[in-house]
Amino acid sequence: MQLTGLKYGRKILEMVEFPVSPSLTEEASIEDISKLMAAHGGKCVVKPFFTGGIGKKGKAGLVKIAKSVHEAIAAKQELYFAKHHQGNHTVQANGVTFEGFIPSDAEIYVSITSSTIHRQPVMTIIVEGGVDVEEVSPDKKKEIVFNPVTGVKSFHIIDALRELNCPQEYISPLVQHLPKLWQAYDTYGLITLELNPIRMQSKGGRFTPVACDIKASFDQDNPGWKRMSFPEEIFSTDITDFEAEINLLRTYQGQSDVTELNPEGTILPFIFGGGANSAATEILGQKAIISSDFGGNPPYAKMKSIADISFKHWLAKTNVVLLIGGKANNTDIFVTFKGIFDSLKEHIHLNPNVQVVVGRGGPNLIRGMVYARDVLDNLKVPYRFFGFDSSMVGVLEHALKLDDWIIDNQKSGRAAG
């Protein structure tokens, strides 16, 4: 469950009194738009509204800065039903927002998410915001790992900002407001909260961090999100038959969120954990058929059903079946492996030439790997296993190289034939 933009996302911030840019919906009158622009230097920002978690609108040219009411209305007409391409999917907007323009010499990126490496929440800060976090060099960003019992504290943020050489005049305002994001994250069932950008608004020589865009993901199994009273349709996007079939499994223990990324992809990833999901989706790119998070210690029956549906839809065109995740605390690795590899036994006739890569850690890991080894040896399926001490990025890169090697050999075989 994801949302982007201020149309609904501003409510999350207002609940914890985090400053956010004023905004109007597509139903706003010309008079209201005029007042908004007058209060913000004669400018407003017009953005299309997409349901679900849709990013990279700015790079796609879907964000307009209007300098007159006439320009704002023209932007509304252009963007109201704008189409946005993400991977092999095309999504269509249904409305726009008019947002107050916040002049600033600085943009800050801040996110909170759960780390599969540290098994704790992590706040990431970049003082050169307005960019994709993946494009920023490690020395330009700071990860704050903190105890979820005590939450993120002022000293965490002060230390991080100083290490990033943040201008002194911005530090105090950020220290006052950024801890509020943990309050929102912890209270309302969030698994990801990202503000990009936060612009530093100056009034009378004093600075205030103002959120100008938001992306949020909710744990549907955590009732905290219901406190926001969001209409359920805002989380809906056009879903495929595969997504609909998998997501029916939410009636059982554990998560089963999937997004079909590229039906022409060649790597089928079974991903466990939100951090692993982010890393795998970014690194695998167009090769990933799906993005998934099959966490929450799913029982055997559910994991077997997930694998059955996945293999039924995708195994015939898959080069590499990938199992990837961090070191689990409570997920029984043997149970999840048994479900997946029992299903693979039943579906291997769809693609006897598939290969398997595993990168995992957690309870009963060795037992799970031994079971997987025996199944794969009997099926004569090549495999490579990586344990909990292996780099997740390294495992993903190995899967990519293996997929490239398989494709090259397929091309060579066709050429020889």
Using DSSP bridges, classify how beta strands 267-272 and 320-327 pair: parallel, antiparallel or unpaired.
parallel
Q: How many CB atoms lie within 10 A of CB 231?
A: 9
Domains of the chain, earliest start first: 23-100 (3.30.1490.20), 107-232 (3.30.470.20), 239-416 (3.40.50.261)
Closest CA to 262 of 93, 135, 90: 90
Residue 290: pLDDT above 60? yes
pLDDT at 131: 57
Residue 66: pLDDT above 90? yes
Residue 254: pLDDT above 50? no
pLDDT at 252: 40
Residue 275: pLDDT above 90? no
pLDDT at 46: 96
Q: pLDDT tens, 13-57? A: 999 999 999 999 988 999 999 999 999 999 999 999 887 666 667
Q: pLDDT tens, 336-382? A: 999 999 999 999 999 999 999 999 988 899 999 999 999 999 999 99
How far is 261 from 399, CA to CA, in rounded Å? 17
Read off the tokens for 378.
Answer: 């009997």
pLDDT at 130: 59
Read off the tokens for 409.
Answer: 């050999």
Q: pLDDT tens, 162-216? A: 999 999 999 999 999 999 999 999 998 888 899 989 999 998 889 999 999 999 8
pLDDT at 88: 55
How far is 155 from 147, CA to CA, in rounded Å? 13
pLDDT at 417: 46
Q: pLDDT tens, 118-139? A: 678 889 999 876 556 666 778 8
Closest CA to 304 of 275, 343, 269, 352: 343
At residue 23, φ and ψ (nearest 5 deg) are -145, 155
At residue 57, φ and ψ (nearest 5 deg) are -70, -40
Task: Evaluate whether 164 touches 139 at the Cβ level (below 8 Å).
Answer: no
How wide is the angle at C-alpha 269 spanned by C-alphas 264 and 273, nearest 5°? 135
Closest CA to 196 of 288, 101, 127, 143: 127
Task: Evaluate whether 174 touches 158 at the Cβ level (below 8 Å).
Answer: no
Q: Is pTM, for the whole model, over 0.85? A: no
- Min mean pLDDT across 182-186, 242-246, 259-263 is at 242-246
Region 138-167 average pLDDT: 89
> What are the counts of helices (DSSP H) followed by strands (DSSP E) for the chain?
12, 19
